[in-house]
Structures are given as structure tokens and as C-alpha cells.
Amino acid sequence: FFFGMLSLHEAVVSARNDRVRPLNAVNRLTEEMTRLKEGLEDEFDSHCMQFLLDQFRTVKDQMEYPKCRPPKIAVYGKTGSGKSFLLNKLLGVDVLPFSPKGKSCTSTCTELWSLKVSAGGEGGAFAVVEIHYLDEEAWRQKREMLVEIALKGTSSFRGIAKRLLEHVYGKCTEEQLEKLRDLPLQSEPPAIQSILNLPNHGEHHVYHDIAKVQEALKTLVTLGQNHFQAILARLVHVTGVNNFFPGLPAGACLVDMPGVDDIDVVKVRNATEYHTTECTHTWLCALDRVASDPKVQDMVHCTMKLLADGKMATASMLLLKRDQFLRDCSAGEQMTRKQKMELLEEE
């Protein structure tokens, strides 16, 4: 038992610097301890060995998960703490709407996927993907509407609706489309989560062939599905980025989250669930009154629990604004929008 505890401690310490050898050591020790446990007759010894086995499995899980997944960084915090502004600054272009007055602008979780990255961060392309939660009834209505359009709509819209349905269900004949009307949600294929609506090009320069981007996102967007909701991903646009922050991990996904104190409680609940199930890293964004703010305390506790459970690889605290800045911004009509923006840039 003592040997096992020492080995466990050694594996945990080593894991900070080396992800491969300690994991191999933990695997070997787990196998050896399982074999030893089977030969133990004393109940107390057996109980101690089981305790150690549980600890080793926890360490193993922490080494393997979520490091094995692409980094998905949640920018998580209060409304008005500067989450969208921070991401725009990192990318060097305003891809996300933000309010200089610190009001709510982010209506849903928005993923920024790195599609093409030049050396040193000089330029590249990011896909902007909106995450939408649909309950069972909402998804059924959406599917019925698409089937109706695919069967009876005008020629141009019929093609669009059919492509969206085929993205989920594969090639469909008219007879198969008719059957989709009554398909129970439990029979839906996993790809229901990755419907990508046709992108709105707008003024954004598209670097990639859209079909290829959609194909890439089908594998990139690792979405979950729980017992009462389905998650849909909507590709908004692909945007060129000229000079983003060079420290961003390659292939990373940055996630702009709604504020945790938003008045829309459903939106906050969905965002929190997304954060706890999908994200591998967290950037906690807050003002400098952290200790006295219950919302921020809850946010920190939630993230610390994810770290302790091995579901989050890293978490960082970012203090983006000072109270003085907020007082300046609310000082009234004396400040012009330009002055407020200059203050925000300074912060």
C-alpha cells in the first residue's frame, strides 16, 4: 500500500513535465495492482488496494482527458467584462459584435475555428460558428419544415432544404423524405448535431471552398447531445485574419460565451452546460472586484471543480477592466464614443 502511494505521488509529479512515460507507468501499475488485489484475502488490504486503484484511474483520466482533444478555449465571464473585445483584439479584426458600454451582445456560444494559419501569426482564416440548442419539439418542427420545402417548395429552395437534410441523413429519395416526417428523435443519427446552414458571405473574404470548410467542420466541431436537447452548429462565415496574436495554439478553437449574469436564464444554462462538457481550457474574464462578486465566485468554483475532476486542462484568470474604467464610462454624456473606445483600448 505504501509502495503504491509513493508510486502514485511520483506519477502525479512526473505528469507535469512528461505526458507519455508517466501514463505508461500508471497503466503498468494499475495492471499490477489489479492482479495483486485479486490475491488478497484480508478485507482491509483489499479495501486499501481498491482505493489506490481508484486514485490511479483518476490520474490516468487526468493525463488522457482532455489533452487528447483539440484545444477548445472558453472565454467565460460576466456580461461587459470584455470577452468579445478580447477575442477581436487577439485576431486583429472585429469578427464579433461587442458593446463599448459593457452591455450584452453575445446571444449564443460562438466558436472561432482556426482553419488556416501562417507562420508567426501574420495571417490566416477563421470560421465563425454559432452553437444553437434545440429542444425535441423545436428540432421536430425544423425537420418537418425542411421536409415540406424539399418535397413541395420552389425549385431553388427545394435544393437548399434537401442538401441540409442530406447533410444529416445521407442521400434521400422522395419516399425516404416522407418517412423523416415521423422519425422519433431517438432514431436520429449523431450528425444531427452538425447541420451547417448555408453561410452568409457578406463582406468577409472566403479563403476556402465552402464545401471543404463544411466537411472540415463536421469533424472539427465536437458537439455533445444530452437527454433533452440537441445541439446544432451554424457556420456564419469564414473570415480572413491579418495579424492575430502569435501565442494562440495551432488548430485551437476560441469560444465566445454569453455573460454568466445575462437575464436570459435558459441562455446562461445552455452556455454553462456547453462549457462543462465541450471546452478543454477556460479563460475566466472578470473585473477587479472578484472577491466581492458572488457571480464571479460561482464561476471560479465551477471551473475549479472541472479542473479537479480532470475535465479541464487549464484555467486562467484575466482581469480585463478596472472599476475606475466603468465609472468613467458611466460618467454620463460628457464622454464621446471615441473617448470611451480609447479608454477601452487602454484597458
Q: What digits encode the pLDDT tens for the residues 106-142?
A: 778 888 887 665 555 566 777 787 777 655 566 677 7
What number is the average pLDDT over the span 79-91? 83
Task: Give the integer Cα–Cα distance in Å for 228 and 138.
Answer: 11
Confidence category of residue 227, pLDDT binned at 50, 70, 90: very low
Confidence category of residue 300, pLDDT binned at 50, 70, 90: confident
Q: Are residue 33 and residue 96 in the same domain, yes or no?
A: no
Establish whether the linkage from the previous residue to 66 is cis, with ω within 30° of 0.
yes
On whether residue 169 sits in a domain, the answer given is no
pLDDT tens digits, residue range 170-214? 677 888 888 877 776 545 544 333 333 333 333 333 333 445 544
Confidence category of residue 155, pLDDT binned at 50, 70, 90: confident
Task: Give the integer Cα–Cα distance in Å for 244 and 246.
Answer: 6
Q: Which domain holds residue 110?
A: 72-123+242-346
On whether residue 191 sits in a domain, the answer given is no
Task: Give the integer Cα–Cα distance in Å for 10 and 199.
Answer: 51
pLDDT at position 237: 72
Q: Are residue 10 and residue 87 in the same domain, yes or no?
A: no
Higher pLDDT, 276 or 291: 276
Q: Are residue 108 and residue 55 in the same domain, yes or no?
A: no
Instruction: State the chain's mean pLDDT as an integer.
Output: 67
On whether residue 185 sits in a domain, the answer given is no
Report which of 246, 341, 292, 324 is spatially closest to residue 78, judged by C-alpha positions: 292
110-117/281-287 β-pairing: unpaired
Report which of 68, 116, 312, 111 is spatially closest to residue 221, judged by C-alpha positions: 111
Burial class (CB in 10 A: 0-12, 13-18, 19+), 62: buried
Task: Decide if pLDDT at 149 tops 70.
Answer: yes
Higher pLDDT, 282 or 105: 282
What is the value of pTM for the model shown? 0.56
What number is the average pLDDT over the span 309-319? 78
Contacts of 106 (CB under 8 A, 6+ apart): 83, 84, 96, 97, 256, 257, 258, 259
User: Nine-digit cell at 243?
Assistant: 495579424
For cell 509502495, what's the residue? 3
On whether residue 314 sits in a domain, the answer given is yes
* Contact call for residues 264 and 104 (beta carbons, < 8 A): no
On whether residue 100 sits in a domain, the answer given is yes
Element (H, E) at 214: helix 210-220
pLDDT at position 224: 35
Judged by average pLDDT, the poorest of 14-18, 37-41, 61-65 is: 14-18
Q: Are residue 47 and residue 103 in the same domain, yes or no?
A: no
Report which of 203, 236, 197 is spatially closest to residue 113, judged by C-alpha positions: 236
Judged by average pLDDT, the poorest of 79-88, 195-204, 258-267, 313-322 is: 195-204
On whether residue 255 sits in a domain, the answer given is yes
Domains held by the chain: number: 2
Task: Give the integer Cα–Cα distance in Å for 152 and 64.
Answer: 50
Q: Are residue 283 and residue 339 in the same domain, yes or no?
A: yes
pLDDT at position 216: 46
